[in-house]
Structure 1
Amino acid sequence: MKKISTMSFSRRDVLKTTATAALITAMRSAFPSGAFASTGAPEVRGAKLGYIALTDAAPLVIAKEKGLFEKHGLPDVDVAKQASWGATRDNLVLGGEANGIDGAHILSPLPFLMQTGKVTQNNQPVPMSILARLNYDSQGISVAKEYAETGVGLDASKLKAVFAAKKAAGKEIKAAMTFPGGTHDLWLRYWLAAGGIDPDKDVSTIVVPPPQMVANMKVGNMDVFCVGEPWNEQLVNQGIGFTACTTGEIWKGHPEKAFAMRTDWIEKNPNATKALLMAIMEAQQWCDRMENKDEMAAILGKRQWFNVPPVDVLGRLKGDINYGNGRTEKATNLYMKFWAGGVSYPFQSHDAWFITENIRWGKFAPNTDIKSLVGKVNREDVWRAAAKDLGVASADIPSSTSRGKETFFDGKIFDPENPSAYLDSLSIKAAT
């Protein structure tokens, strides 16, 4: 894989005022796992960051709420809600200097689609950099209540006959996801295809922003959707549908959202970039602690963040899953992970899978140089530099850019060193 040069950083000046020192002492007490390590003074006082109302945006929200951006010398960070992933993309294209945003909580494949101009106006490439992974697991695939009697769960094949009959009767089967080529699109497609349902031929995939999923299913605009929390939980709490499976059941410990920024912003502000990362990493550590989940749900539920009842957030944060079809599970390991086990580190092997799946469904050409593209966008070297300055234990810093082979619920295996073999093993796909 292409070697990426390591950025060089100097030490930050010691903070001088008594008030600031008191703040730092308080923050150290609240976040004992991360030492207040410093780098060169940030070039700017803040940045404009975007987020979608999804539980996996929590590290950005908590970093803002808990004063972690200020702690690392960035008092003017703006964390702004985006209406959709399309709006996130458009505002990243604009950039903060043009009233857009500099970085975002983002679907992990989206920076690669932007880097190559696949989803931008006039196919204009926008150089992007992934700096951290924000979470693992805890997305969901939910189904309209009318399909409850099929018994559909992790095995999507139970929908095949009923979908075929409905389609033969002249009705459209609508499967909703949040952005073409994004994580939710890929989880939905994988689940359908594993059950023998072709997502390009047997159903119509539609795009719906995450906060609008429940309302659209309530009025019958879709048969199935894939989205992150808290929207699957809210669907169940409102009695509108049920969860067939969580995405952790499809691929246990799967990567989900990323923190990414415009590459030109990083190049202009290397110290500020690392300060942002350090704040977000500390927030991930806070989010990962089970004793913080109740407070986290209350914060995310606030009007200015998600504007939802905290109960819609809390259950699945703790691994308590009411699937809504009579099945309930308590204290599962399917809760959202934010830090322990290398979650924050952006494994390049994971990005290789996202690109390979987008080759599978025709978003990228079959001859795409996966390693080269990953090397341009994935800046795991910056993550390592930030982790070192933050005082992250060496045992918590992965020694390799690859997590190795990954195994899915249907027995398929992805070897990042041989993506072609993985593609060859798949019977339903657009790519040849």
Structure 2
Amino acid sequence: MKINNPLIAGLAASEQPKNPNRRKFIGGVAAVAGAATLGGIFPLGINSASAASHGKPETTSAKLGFIALTDAAPLFVALEKGFFAKHGMPDVEVLKQSSWGTTRDNLVLGSQRNGIDGAHILTPMPYLIASGAMTANNIPTPMYILARLNLAGQCISVGSEYKDLQVGLDTSSFSQALAAKREAGNAINAAMTFPGGTHDMWMRYWLAAGGIDPDQNISTIVVPPAQMVANMRVGSMDTFCVCEPWNQQLVNQGIGYTANTTGEMWHNHPEKAFAMRADYVDANPNATKALLMAVMEAQIYCEQAENRREVAEICSKRRWIHAPFDDIVDRMEGNFDYGNGKVIENHPDQMRYWKDQASYPFKSHDLWFLTENKRWGYLPQDLDSQALIDQVNREDLWREAALALGVDSADIPESTSRGIETFFDGKTFNPDNPQAYLDSLDIKRT
């Protein structure tokens, strides 16, 4: 892939977008811990600090994109429950996008050119857009990640033709079946939603961990989330990775089954992000904080068990996911019928919207995604990952919004790193030495 982009070559200071509004988070967490909590309303950690403790928004509007997936629920809830309006942003529009490619293109356009200002987005995408690695003519559009929207909650599904194999985390029997199918002259396909995105990373990691080269032994294809089930029905793919409700819908229609939830591959892994164009944030710091506070409040609402059924009902609406309630509610409530006889109630790897510091955008997690994108050749080896992360990841703004909202100190991490991460195959990622992780992997393009 040819990438003609000065940001990739080292991110010299003169090449980075100017950001006069960046403010570093310094102390203050202790003050939050002493505030009285409104446990009856927000038992997961909103205290009595006023949501009005930020300046007047410079604008009351923003156009935010989303894909029809349950991890976009915080945006739906923020609009439907009035959280955007509560925080001074009554004119926010939450607009459905047909694919992640469309989301990218509309972010590049921006709302001034009939695009969007921000989005529910695959965590690596703001980096692929800001670096120009996945934009037209490799022209970068500066982006900021403001929050993580969720942890885990994705799945890898396989077609019913492999039901007897009981495919799970172990792909050994699946690998043999795919090889036999390929040798018979049949196409074999693994579907994901965007090159270099989270679903691509989970699919590739799972296949490679079992010795299946995702570039040599199977064709990796891009399919929009809402089209996954239809394509599996007509035999266009053997396996796919996507968020809900499409895995559950596959089970409900008897077309396939869930091989694993991605949280079983990496417990509490980062997934979607709330990101915005840098120019919107830089021009509207107060409006940005208001948006963040509304989204965070919605994340807390979505996390609470007593709200999950209502959140599923909201998601099912035509304007949002437009899928049957029965395809959404079980996994929204944490109950997983894999469709192959395996059933787990209150799944330990169910989607998290707020619990376990789900909302905070750890820089160490972004480093893993950039390292994996280097692994598969989407990003060059000499990319200065840390410089790009420091440009794109605005965890400082998340902290400011958290303090203004009155988030409990226990939900505000002390570090930008969650430390060493361990995967299902025994591999570990130490953010202090990403090259050692990359060197430990057998299948890679480097």
TM-score interval (norm. to shorter): over 0.9
1:331 aligns with 2:346: yes
Structure 2 unaligned blocks of 5 or more = 1-10, 14-18, 25-37
Q: Which residue of 2 aligns with 1:22?
A: none
Q: Which residue of 2 aligns with 1:21?
A: none
Aligned runs of 1:104-119 on 2, under 5 Å? 104-119=119-134
- Distance in 2 between the 1:193 and 1:263 partners? 35
Q: CA deviation at 1:180?
A: 0.3
Q: Which residue of 1 aligns with 2:413?
A: 398
Secondary structure of 1:129 counterpart: strand
Q: Is the 8 A contact 2:21 2:282 kept in 1?
A: no
Q: CA deviation at 1:28?
A: 11
Q: Which residue of 2 aligns with 1:23?
A: none
- Distance in 1 between the 2:20 and 2:354 partners? 25
Secondary structure of 2:79 counterpart: helix
- Give me the TM-score of the superposition, normalised by structure 2: 0.90
Aligned runs of 1:299-318 on 2, under 5 Å? 299-318=314-333
Q: Which residue of 1 aligns with 2:172?
A: 157
Secondary structure of 1:355 counterpart: helix
1:59 aligns with 2:74: yes
- Distance in 2 between the 1:6 and 1:31 partners? 31
The amino acid across from 2:297 in the alignment is E
1:382 aligns with 2:382: no
1:43 aligns with 2:74: no
Q: CA deviation at 1:151?
A: 2.1
Question: Which consecutive segments of 4 or more residues in structure 1 shift more than 3 A?
Answer: 2-9, 27-32
The amino acid across from 2:382 in the alignment is N
Q: 1:249 aligns with which of 258, 264, 268?
A: 264
Secondary structure of 1:220 counterpart: coil
Q: 1:206 aligns with which of 212, 221, 230?
A: 221
Q: Is the 8 A contact 1:177 1:205 kept in 2?
A: yes
Q: 2:147 aligns with which of 100, 122, 132?
A: 132
Q: Which residue of 2 aligns with 1:12?
A: none
- Distance in 1 between the 2:272 and 2:256 partners? 25
- Distance in 2 between the 1:212 and 1:77 partners? 28
Structure 1 unaligned blocks of 5 or more = 10-26
Q: CA deviation at 1:30?
A: 5.5
Q: Is the 8 A contact 2:20 2:282 kept in 1?
A: no
Q: 1:320 aligns with which of 335, 341, 344?
A: 335
Q: CA deviation at 1:8?
A: 5.7
- Give me the TM-score of the superposition, normalised by structure 1: 0.93
Greater length-normalized contact order (CA 8 Å, ≥ 6 residues apart)? 2
Secondary structure of 2:60 counterpart: coil
- Distance in 1 between the 2:21 and 2:96 partners? 32
Q: Which residue of 2 aligns with 1:354?
A: 369
The amino acid across from 1:232 in the alignment is N
Q: Is the 8 A contact 1:157 1:192 kept in 2?
A: no
- Distance in 1 between the 2:381 and 2:23 partners? 36
Secondary structure of 1:131 counterpart: strand
Q: Which residue of 1 aligns with 2:108?
A: 93
Q: Is the 8 A contact 1:181 1:363 kept in 2?
A: yes
Aligned runs of 1:337-348 on 2, under 5 Å? 337-348=352-363
Q: Percent identity?
A: 61
Q: Is the 8 A contact 2:356 2:411 kept in 1?
A: yes
Q: Which residue of 1 aligns with 2:308?
A: 293
Q: CA deviation at 1:29?
A: 8.0
Secondary structure of 1:388 counterpart: helix
Q: Which residue of 1 aligns with 2:248?
A: 233
Q: Which residue of 1 aligns with 2:16?
A: none
Q: Which residue of 2 aligns with 1:123?
A: 138
Q: 1:268 aligns with which of 283, 302, 306?
A: 283
CA 1:28–1:290 in structure 2 vs 1: closer, same or farther (change >3 Å)? closer
- Distance in 2 between the 1:414 and 1:184 partners? 19
Q: Which residue of 1 aligns with 2:7?
A: none
- Distance in 2 between the 1:320 and 1:390 partners? 31
- Distance in 2 between the 1:28 and 1:166 partners? 56
Secondary structure of 2:370 counterpart: helix
Q: Is the 8 A contact 1:135 1:337 kept in 2?
A: yes
- Distance in 2 between the 1:318 and 1:74 partners? 30
1:412 aligns with 2:441: no
Q: CA deviation at 1:312?
A: 1.1
Task: Calculate the aligned-residue CA RMSD, in Å.
Answer: 1.8
Secondary structure of 1:44 counterpart: coil
Q: Which moved more, 1:373-382 or 1:31-40?
A: 31-40
Q: Is the 8 A contact 2:189 2:218 kept in 1?
A: yes
Q: 1:367 aligns with which of 358, 382, 385?
A: 382
Aligned pair count reads 413
CA 1:28–1:332 in structure 2 vs 1: closer, same or farther (change >3 Å)? closer
Q: Is the 8 A contact 2:23 2:396 kept in 1?
A: no
